[in-house]
Copies of this chain bind each other. A is one copy, B any other.
Amino acid sequence: MHELLYQKLTEKITLNPEEFETVKAFFIPRTIKKRQYLLQQDDVAKYLAFINRGALRLYTLDNRGNDISVQFGLEGWWMTDNYSYLTGEPTIYNIEALEDSELLLMHRDKYEQVFDAVPKFERFVRILLQNNFIATQRRLISSLSLSAEDRYTSLANAYPEIIRRIPQHMIASYLGITPETLSRIRKQLIKA
């Protein structure tokens, strides 16, 4: 159950067995079925989720009620609304399960405690935040400078797994285009 977590942590920081056991004890395993929610708008993000198996989506609604996919998560990825999780303010996001999923959850009450118990874990979380920031900035630049087709192909090259497992209309909203446009782009690409 915790092998993937161990692998992902030790990619970024070195942990001896006792330290890993300590960190591990802070996580609550939970399964969540397709279409269930881990977080809903106006609630506080109580959990930081590590995805052991399955697929999640973080999205929000714009002022016209359109659904915008902000982030997807697959095995080995982390999901939460960092802002709400860290500040305790209500969130503007929703996190839903797109497949039956196994999660490891860390409650926000424990957040400071883990850092005291295993200081290296704080470094890990900072690296995670940092990487999220960099990835979001790059995505912003592509959304400002690339055509819809280029944005799709670069997503498909970087994360083929996302294309395979995530419904198309959600990928469309992630790219900032309509489902119709994405359908036409795919048709174009198959011909070429």
Q: How many angstroms from the CA of A109 to the CA of B123 in the assembled complex?
A: 18
- Whether A82 and B134, one on each chain, are in contact in the complex, defined by CB atoms closer than 8 angstroms, is yes
- Whether B68 and A130, one on each chain, are in contact in the complex, defined by CB atoms closer than 8 angstroms, is no
Q: How many angstroms from the CA of A175 to the CA of B143 in the assembled complex?
A: 10
Minimum Cβ distance to chain B for residue A68 (Å): 6
Minimum Cβ distance to chain B for residue A86 (Å): 7
- Whether A137 and B134, one on each chain, are in contact in the complex, defined by CB atoms closer than 8 angstroms, is no
Which one, B136, B140, B145, B176, contacts A145 given CB within 8 A?
Answer: B176
Main secondary structure of the interface of A (DSSP, over half): helix
- Whether B130 and A82, one on each chain, are in contact in the complex, defined by CB atoms closer than 8 angstroms, is yes
A35 contacts partner chain B, Cβ-Cβ < 8 Å: no
Minimum Cβ distance to chain B for residue A149 (Å): 14
Minimum Cβ distance to chain B for residue A112 (Å): 12
Minimum Cβ distance to chain B for residue A122 (Å): 9
- Whether A137 and B86, one on each chain, are in contact in the complex, defined by CB atoms closer than 8 angstroms, is no
A132 contacts partner chain B, Cβ-Cβ < 8 Å: yes
Q: How many angstroms from the CA of A189 to the CA of B134 in the assembled complex?
A: 34
- Whether A70 and B137, one on each chain, are in contact in the complex, defined by CB atoms closer than 8 angstroms, is yes
Contacting residues, chain B, for A140 (C-beta < 8 A): 70, 136, 139-140, 143
Residues of A82-139 at the interface with B, using a CB-CB cut-off of 8 Å, are: 82-83, 86, 126, 129-130, 132-134, 136-137, 139
Contacting residues, chain B, for A126 (C-beta < 8 A): 126, 129
